[in-house]
A and B are shown apart, each in its own frame.
Chain A
């Protein structure tokens, strides 16, 4: 396993299988990506595309029914360059990573907190586990982080319960909980989806500022292309358990190549532009990832599909320069197809 300087997390051919009554459903079907130090990678896709499963696989907190295969290599503090999937999911090693070096912000702050404990108590949990056994010190650290994420009146708030917080404040508390151990990588799973636009803007700005202070990397998972544009350096677009296109953020908006990415960007109206008569829409719906036919997962809904190629061969990510990779035969051509037919 070679480690390049900047990369702190490298995922190779990650697959997540889920056992269901009808058989095995492969929800993540071979995902590769790297995250570099200090960068924000946006993982974009619609519901059911496997983006949350991917992020949970990194921490090893997927449901028992899910089985992850492949490699998730992480530059851990004590362990060096290590494949997280090879560690015992209940063992000591992964626990020294989970919550400390990699932490996560969950989608719905109302659900992520236990209603039975005070906010301070819940933020302390991570501190007491990873940093210090001294409760007084832990409280000090927690209060410091609470202030940092902009919770006014932190001393009073520390002893309050989640129901006494508004949605935006609770999301701040959740961020405080994730940051209290100063992680290298923060996974943010739709952190602002449940919030109003004004609060959403506040939280996104806060995350950006904190990223500068803490120097961490962020894996930002969302279906909202607007927040991605605001937050991310690079974007990976996921469809049906695969990454179909990845590029620097500016490039993906200026020059989207994959028909799915184009559809995704075209279906969002931009304020200030002349309204088209109709919004661009991708026909059909995402198929169930059970017994998928051969070829590209987007075949049925694609307006550029090439019969005999796209429904036969599986497209892989191809580099087209400038850090832009596309998995689409219609965009990059299909050299293999010709050869195999001749042979």
Chain B
């Protein structure tokens, strides 16, 4: 399998949570393909379901409906959500996750060496001790951890160093796909840049595929090849990064882009205000979920759910009026 082939095909994934007699639709009918070696950014405000989607894809949650078709290293295409435990064991190590908070995702009572070693021991129980040590050392060096400190506990490390530990743990079993859930959000900007550069280098070297979930649009624009925008559990727009940022086709994307603070005081951006707040996901609005806050809302939007369709090559939108509207994005140099 070479770079550019399809590695994941997410098809109509739904995730419903039952709580106190209510059903919360955290993810509703999300579909998109992922090519090998590319980075897909998923953006949206808190509560839009982006983390839930990431967890569905690695099967940390069991989605209510849908398929995650995965083309494995051995060329087989399987539905990651349907396979049994034994098959799962074989393939799970190929899809790994990096978590949001480097302070709570590492066990404080394990040494850093043991933390990085754990996935190896779990997935390759027969691996000799020497080989385990070699691999841990190799990966620690690759992510820029000082190998003399591996016998220490996580509390002795700074935020940026801890995130490197999390990355090393995900990489040690040579995965092909990594779901990064807000992987750099908790870090200071200078450290953020270090970790983003590291992810970038590792991708080039190892041919990794990233699913990069974040609320920070500047970071997503920098790192992603394609970007999906989520609102209230639905994917409302999906396109190549440049295309999405320069000419958004969904009014929600437009507002989101206009709200990004640009680190340049000479840029006076006209913000397109969003009325009100995100509706309760347990009781979403009728028709288009966004209609309560949309400035282009019509009667049809209140009644009918817009179809998620490809309006331009590779540019998917779910909006009744996408074709007639001209929306504003960023101007590229």
Contacts and interface: CB of A to CB of B under 8 A. Distances in A.
Given A197-B217, A201-B271, A269-B219, A225 B263 contact: yes
Nearest to B200: A278
Contact of A281 (B46, B197, B273, B274): B197
A279 B217 contact: no
Interface size class of A (residues with CB under 8 A): 35 or more
Task: Kindly name the residue among B193, B194, B217, B256 whose own CB sees the greatest number of chain A CB atoms within 10 A.
Answer: B193
Interface in B256-271: 256-267, 271
Interface of A: 46-47, 166-169, 196-202, 204-205, 223-230, 232, 249-250, 253-254, 263-265, 267-275, 278-283, 285
B146 to A, nearest CB: 12
Interface of B: 45-46, 158-161, 188-194, 196-197, 200, 215, 217-219, 221-222, 245, 255-267, 271, 273-274, 277, 330-333
B41 to A, nearest CB: 12
A46 B190 contact: yes
B264 A229 contact: yes
Contact of B218 (A200, A230, A268): A268
Pick the 7 closest A-B CB pairs, nearest first: A226-B261, A267-B193, A281-B193, A269-B222, A46-B188, A201-B259, A196-B45
Contacts of B190: 46, 263-264, 267, 281-282
B284 to A, nearest CB: 16
A225 B221 contact: no
A169 B278 CA distance: 12
B188 A268 contact: no
Given A249-B265, A267-B190, A273 B218 contact: no
Nearest to A205: B271
B89 to A, nearest CB: 37
B279 to A, nearest CB: 11
A196 B161 CA distance: 26
A270 B262 contact: yes
Given A47-B188, A267-B190, A271-B330, A279 B271 contact: no
Contact of B266 (A227, A253, A273, A275): A253
Contacts of A204: 261
A271 B193 contact: no
A239 B329 CA distance: 35
A168 B47 CA distance: 13
Nearest to A301: B190
Contacts of A46: 188-191
B331 A226 contact: no
